[in-house]
Amino acid sequence: MEDIKKGLESVIALETSISYIDGINGILEYRGYNINDLSEMPYDAVSYLLIHGELPDEDELEAFSGQLRAEREIDEDTIEFMRMCPYGVEAMDALRTAVSYLSHHDPDMSDCSLDANLRKGIRLIAKFPTIVAAYYRITNGQEPIAPHPSLPHGANFLYMLRGEEPSELEARLMELDFILSAEHELNASTFSVRVAVSTLSDIHSAVIAGLSTLKGPLHGGARLAVMRMLEEVGSPERAEEYVLSLIAEGQRVMGFGHRVYKTYDPRARIYKRLAREIADERGDTRWFRIAESIEEAVQRELVEKQGKPLCPNVDFYSAVVYKYLHIPPEFATSLFAIGRISGWVAHCIEQYADNRVIRPRAKYVGKHHPSR
């Protein structure tokens, strides 16, 4: 048996035409379009691009957005189920259970044809923000707010969260956050999604596998951890001491490092610019300055002194943006999922289209007992 690549590092497991990463030069493309160019577009257009492979023209975008808006609502049963969640259930766990619950009511549940998968995918993309916003309000003792019929994806989410329309800048940041989170090749959660689909299981089950994998702190859960770290550090002056104490304890600095990028993650660059923009607009640069001081300390202590190629990843400055958008840390990973669902749906469709069950081997290192 060949050598084992622990964590499947550098293993090419399949072909995809959904996204491309150049980890040396820090390039990310969705369907061949550079992430910097896509960041000017509406989330709906990027979602369409990921699922259908081409950017929509005006009519296609209008029709796709119309389908998404028509599917934004969740029924009273799903809301009631969220009200019944025990105190302290995390947003990602509530979202995961809600997806499972929704699957029981989906009219296409037993149909895995392409058309049915597209319909189910659109329902999931449309309903994710509504579920997360409703759960946020329920956990705050407030009534959920019905989706807005015409606001864009990001603005509608903030509207459902707060009960009032966000500012232009906030709406743009939310839209962009969902775009930047939408897709990233064969990351751990997308791999889980594709493994589930490869057994010819259904999209809802695959998405539940994706959510369960995204949640972990080495993946999407890092965003939550970075928000907590910013709060714990508290002021830019404490950043160095904090990073040194993590190193002394052999712990990781959350929001740094990447399996593929050995340079600055291109999404982190965009988030950093956005974080600075909203900090300036708010006239409160504290969170941004704390983050920058942590980045400087990591550069000095881990990159320059220890030679580790650690740059901020997507979860670092996105956490700063969330601080300024007043997103509670416990909800950070579920926002990541709201963006990522489009990528998962695209990968489900790609996997179904040319499927072979994903079933690698393991090298057995246990004992062999002689047969009796």
Name the residues that contact ligand CMC, by CB under 6 A.
7, 187, 218-220, 222, 252-259, 302, 308, 310, 313-315
- Taking the complex as a whole, how short is the minimal distance between the CB of residue 309 and ligand CMC, in angstroms? 8
- Taking the complex as a whole, how short is the minimal distance between the CB of residue 240 and ligand CMC, in angstroms? 15
Distance CA 365, CA 99 (A): 38
The two counts, helices (H) then strands (E), for the chain are: 16, 3
CA 226 to chain centre: 14
**Cβ proximity to ligand CMC, 46 vs 225, nearer residue:** 225
Closest by CA position to 140, among listed 162, 155, 170, 164: 162
**Cβ proximity to ligand CMC, 166 vs 312, nearer residue:** 312
Distance CA 206, CA 199 (A): 10
Distance CA 184, CA 268 (A): 13
- Taking the complex as a whole, how short is the minimal distance between the CB of residue 117 and ligand CMC, in angstroms? 25
- Taking the complex as a whole, how short is the minimal distance between the CB of residue 20 and ligand CMC, in angstroms? 17
Distance CA 87, CA 268 (A): 34
- Taking the complex as a whole, how short is the minimal distance between the CB of residue 256 and ligand CMC, in angstroms? 4
Token pair belonging to 303: 């990159």
CA 265 to chain centre: 15
**Cβ proximity to ligand CMC, 103 vs 187, nearer residue:** 187
Q: By Cβ distance, which residue is nearest to ligand CMC?
A: 257
Active site amino acids:
258, 315
**Cβ proximity to ligand CMC, 8 vs 112, nearer residue:** 8
Decide if 272 contacts 328 (C-beta within 8 A). no
CA distances for 105 relative to 74, 171, 204, 242, angstroms: 11, 31, 11, 48
Q: What are phi and psi of 20, to 5 degrees?
A: -135, 135
**Cβ proximity to ligand CMC, 127 vs 340, nearer residue:** 340
